[in-house]
Amino acid sequence: MSKRPLDAAVDKLPRLTRREQLVVLEIGGDTIDSASAFVAYMSEIYGFSKSSVWYNLNRLKEKGVVDFATKEEPGKSLTLTGTGEKRLTALAKAGVKLDELEEKDRWLAPAARSHVVFNA
């Protein structure tokens, strides 16, 4: 039995944890330009520590999913890369939503329960 084209394409994308998926969905659905502002936003909305959000952003950057400014490369906005856009599309086509990620893991802070859901 052969895989559908979407399934085959998704298999080639980097594997993401649920929290990394959440970050991709948030970046894809929000207009926060800087990584620092995004970290503050995620910390405020979900109650994550800022170091945890930075950790996830850096892992996603290593995987080629996001790009953002560094001390060596100032002035870049926080964006999804081509790979990140493909992952966002795959998550949307799979029907993954922010509230579902919350329900599956229960690791989100109470503030997240009232957060707006990403609509694919």
Q: Where are the domains of the chain?
A: 5-105
Q: Is the pTM of this model over 0.85?
A: no
Q: Which stretches within the chain are classed as H helix? A: 5-11, 18-29, 35-46, 50-62, 82-93, 98-105
Residue 115 has pLDDT above 60, yes or no: no
**Structure confidence at residue 61 (pLDDT):** 95
pLDDT digits (tens, 9 = 90+) for 35-44: 999 999 999 9
Give dist(CA 18, CA 75) in Å, integer.
Answer: 29
User: Residue 66 forms beta bridges with which residues?
Assistant: 80
pLDDT digits (tens, 9 = 90+) for 1-34: 544 444 444 455 678 888 899 999 999 887 778 9
Q: Would you tell me how many other CB atoms lie within 10 Å of the CB of residue 104?
A: 10
Q: What is the pLDDT of residues 48-90, one digit of tens each?
A: 999 999 999 999 999 999 999 887 878 888 999 999 999 999 8
> Is domain 5-105 in CATH 1.10.10.10, yes or no?
yes
The two tokens of residue 102 are 């919350």
Predicted pLDDT of residue 33: 81
